[in-house]
Every structure is written in structure tokens, then in C-alpha cells.
């Protein structure tokens, strides 16, 4: 059997084995066509079926009707947050950003390059919490409100989503899309880099309301207009066919295995197990995030010194657990618990957390 390590990377992250195995077959021969998935024309029936299935699975999982466009694009979440103001920030308007972490900062910077954009959450920028709804200083007539539902770097996560005071709300859901059933009815656009909870890197999912798309600017490059991709079924130019195939397999299996309700049950159990192991050794491990705002996807903590952090990571690797080093901007330890991480993986990590503290505390 193939050797598979326990993978807690933040993205690209571990992917479900069954879908990877299916993709391995399709690499050489897609659905008995004698042509591998990488070699099929994106205009041919074999690939178009895959493409439409991937879009259909996203619709089914998130309850999206035809009022929404489901786009499978390239360029990553970074390109989407750069093209968002190109499409939707018009002269004389202001875009609002709830900056609750490093990725929100980057998104705001891109908007400020193009027009008037402000941070509406004047909170301490150590990012240890998510501001309450009333702390979002939304103003009437704004172009949109942008927020990040889960801060991958800082390990904070929104529970209830903010409202835009009448303005369309846009959510960067890169690191917590598909982790639980999610009501998107209050939002106008959602985007997520695939490489965490959806599939491989090289693909970004954009969900956008068609009535909002109709109002978007037309004076930008064709390829950067979300409306272009909507009008072409997300086949305006050559998509990342391989990434879409693997994603199709992952999403189909997610639906088959109980959908998002079942995913939420598993994800909550995983997060609860790890946080409780860390809390039980609270003198040894420091968890910076305020409890109600702890992320179920990215768990961050630190030990007494950077040297001890490094030893934790090294010894965990010896036990087959990888991807635990914190982001270069934050240091410390981070365990990402996306859908493909099993309860068994988390149980092993939780036991290691306990044993390491007892050995070194």
C-alpha cells in the first residue's frame, strides 16, 4: 500500500486518497476514452461532462440555484481579490473591508490601488478575535463589503457572517468553504482557492450572483471580467482541466459520504479533540485566539520559545506528522484540519501534544 503521512499543511493540503487514486487512473485513460484527462480538449464532450459535474456538485453542496454563477478559474484567491475591485468598485464609490487578518490586509491593499477602500473594523491588529457584527462600521451606498470568513494565518473564524448595510457582501472563504452547511443567501460573492478544502492548487472557485454581475464594470480586460467567464460557462479560455477533474472526484465523494452535515460533524469533533488536548496543557502551550473565535480549520499555538517550537515540529515529523510549522509571518505551530484530515490523524496529534508537554513541561 502507498505510504501516506499525516498531513497538517495549510495549503496545498492533504487530499482524500480515494479521489487521488481515481485521478491516477484518469491520468492515463479518462472514462475509457483511451485519452488521459490532461490530454482531452476542453471543448470536447468528455471534459465538458467533468466540468459540468464539478460545477453541479458545488451547487448541490452549497444549495445554489441559477441566480448564482459557479466559476472555476485560475490565478488563485489572490487574483480574485485583485480583480474584485476592478469589476465592482466604480468611481465615486467606496469599498469596505473587514480586515481581520493578513489576507484581508492584502485584499484591501489591492482595492486601494484602484480606488477608495477602507478598513471598517478598527480592532487591535494582533488578530486574536473576530469583531462583533456591530463593530463592522458599514456605511450606506458602499460598493461592497469584503470579509475573510476564516483567517488561515491567525486561526480565527467567523461564526455568523457580517451584513453589508445594504451593500453586496463578498467573502474570501478560501480556508473554510465546504467545512459545514453554509447559508450563502446574505452574500453576493464567495471565492476560495481550491488548495485547502476543495482540491488541488491552480484552481479558484468563484460563486457570484448574476444580478450583481450585470452591474459590473465593462472597461477592464476581458479575461478579468467575471461576467466573461459566466457567459462562457467558465470555459472562456483553457481551464485547469486536471484540477477540475480531481475536484470533481473529491466533491462527488463528499456528497456521497453525507455532504456538509456529515463534514461538519467530523470537523467539529476533530477541532474539539485538538483544542482540548492543548487546553489541558495550558501552562505549556499558549493559544493566542480568544475562545469563541477559534478556527475549526486552522489551530494555532506556540510553546515557550522558538527553539521549543522547532523541537515540537521535528519530533512530530519523526512520528509521521507533517506541516505543523506556523506561517513564516506568525511563527509558532499551526495544524490545519481540513476535510481530508481524518479523526485518526487528529487523535495521533492530540496524543503527541499531551506526551510532548509531559516530557518537556
Residues forming the site for ligand PMP (CB under 6 A): 11, 76-78, 103, 148, 152, 172, 174-175, 193, 204
In the bound complex, what is the minimum distance in angstroms from residue 327's beta carbon to ligand PMP?
Answer: 9
**What span, in angstroms and rounded, lies between the C-alpha atoms of 112 and 35?**
46
The least CB distance from residue 84 to ligand PMP, in Å, is: 12
Burial of 256 (0-12, 13-18, 19+ CB in 10 A): exposed
Is the sign of the CA dihedral 182, 299, 349, 353 positive or negative?
A: negative
Q: How far is the CB of 298 from ligand PMP (least distance, A)?
A: 8
- Provide, rounded to whole angstroms, the least separation between the CB of residue 159 and ligand PMP: 17
Q: Tell me whether residue 127 or residue 356 sits nearer to ligand PMP (CB atom).
A: 127
Residue nearest to ligand PMP (CB): 76
Given the residues 103, 179, 212, 301, select the one marked as catalytic.
Answer: 103
**Cβ proximity to ligand PMP, 30 vs 340, nearer residue:** 340
In contact, 132 and 100? CB cutoff 8 Å:
no
* Cα distance between residue 13 and residue 84, in whole Å: 26
DSSP state of 224: G
* Residue 196 annotated among the catalytic residues of the structure: yes
In the bound state with ligand PMP, the residue whose beta carbon lies nearer, of 175 and 247, is 175
Closer by beta carbon to ligand PMP, 148 or else 240:
148
Residue 103 or 275 with smaller CB distance to ligand PMP = 103
Q: Which of 172, 176, 230, 309 is catalytic?
A: 172
C-alpha distances in Å from residue 185, one per residue of 140, 163, 182, 279: 20, 11, 9, 36
Distance between alpha carbon 297 and the CA centroid of its chain, in Å?
A: 9
Q: Is 172 a catalytic residue?
A: yes
Minimal distance in Å, beta carbon 99 to ligand PMP? 12
Q: Are 133 and 145 in contact (CB under 8 A)?
A: no
Instruction: Single out the residue of 55, 64, 53, 101 nearest to residue 81, CA to CA.
Output: 101
Q: Which residues contact 114 (CB under 8 A, 6 or more apart)?
A: 85, 86, 89
Active site residues: 103, 172, 196
Amino acid at each position: 500500500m502507498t505510504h501516506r503521512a499525516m498531513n497538517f499543511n495549510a495549503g496545498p493540503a492533504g487530499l482524500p486518497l480515494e479521489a487521488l487514486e481515481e485521478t491516477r487512473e484518469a491520468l492515463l485513460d479518462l472514462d475509457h476514452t483511451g485519452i488521459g484527462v490532461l490530454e482531452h480538449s476542453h471543448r470536447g464532450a468528455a471534459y465538458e461532462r467533468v466540468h459540468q459535474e464539478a460545477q453541479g456538485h458545488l451547487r448541490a453542496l452549497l444549495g445554489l440555484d441559477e441566480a448564482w454563477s459557479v466559476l472555476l478559474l485560475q490565478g488563485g484567491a489572490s487574483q480574485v481579490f485583485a480583480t474584485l475591485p476592478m469589476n465592482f468598485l466604480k468611481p465615486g464609490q467606496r469599498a469596505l473591508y473587514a480586515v481581520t487578518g493578513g489576507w484581508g490586509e492584502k485584499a484591501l491593499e489591492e482595492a486601494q490601488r484602484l480606488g477608495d477602500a477602507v478598513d471598517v473594523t478598527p480592532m487591535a491588529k494582533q488578530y486574536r478575535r473576530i469583531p462583533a457584527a456591530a463593530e463592522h462600521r458599514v456605511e450606506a451606498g458602499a460598493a461592497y463589503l469584503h470579509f475573510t470568513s476564516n483567517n488561515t494565518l491567525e486561526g480565527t473564524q467567523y461564526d455568523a457572517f457580517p451584513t453589508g448595510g445594504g451593500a453586496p457582501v463578498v467573502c474570501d472563504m478560501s480556508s473554510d468553504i465546504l467545512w459545514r452547511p453554509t447559508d450563502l443567501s446574505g452574500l453576493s460573492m464567495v471565492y476560495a482557492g481550491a488548495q485547502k478544502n476543495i482540491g488541488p492548487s491552480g484552481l479558484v472557485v468563484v460563486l457570484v450572483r448574476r444580478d450583481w454581475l450585470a452591474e459590473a464594470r465593462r472597461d477592464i480586460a476581458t479575461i478579468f471580467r467575471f461576467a466573461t467567464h459566466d457567459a462562457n460557462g467558465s470555459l472562456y479560455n483553457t481551464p485547469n482541466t486536471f484540477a477540475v477533474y480531481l475536484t470533481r472526484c473529491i466533491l462527488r465523494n463528499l456528497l456521497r459520504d453525507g455532504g456538509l452535515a456529515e463534514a461538519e460533524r467530523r470537523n467539529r469533533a476533530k477541532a474539539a479533540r485538538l483544542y482540548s488536548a492543548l487546553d489541558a496543557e495550558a501552562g505549556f502551550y499558549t493559544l493566542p485566539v480568544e475562545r469563541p473565535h477559534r478556527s475549526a480549520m486552522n489551530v494555532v499555538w506556540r510553546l515557550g520559545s522558538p527553539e521549543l517550537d522547532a523541537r515540537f515540529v521535528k519530533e512530530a515529523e519523526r512520528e509521521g506528522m507533517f506541516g505543523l510549522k506556523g506561517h513564516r509571518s506568525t511563527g509558532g505551530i499551526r495544524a490545519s484540519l481540513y476535510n481530508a484530515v481524518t479523526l485518526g490523524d487528529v487523535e495521533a496529534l492530540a496524543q503527541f501534544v499531551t506526551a510532548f508537554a509531559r516530557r518537556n513541561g
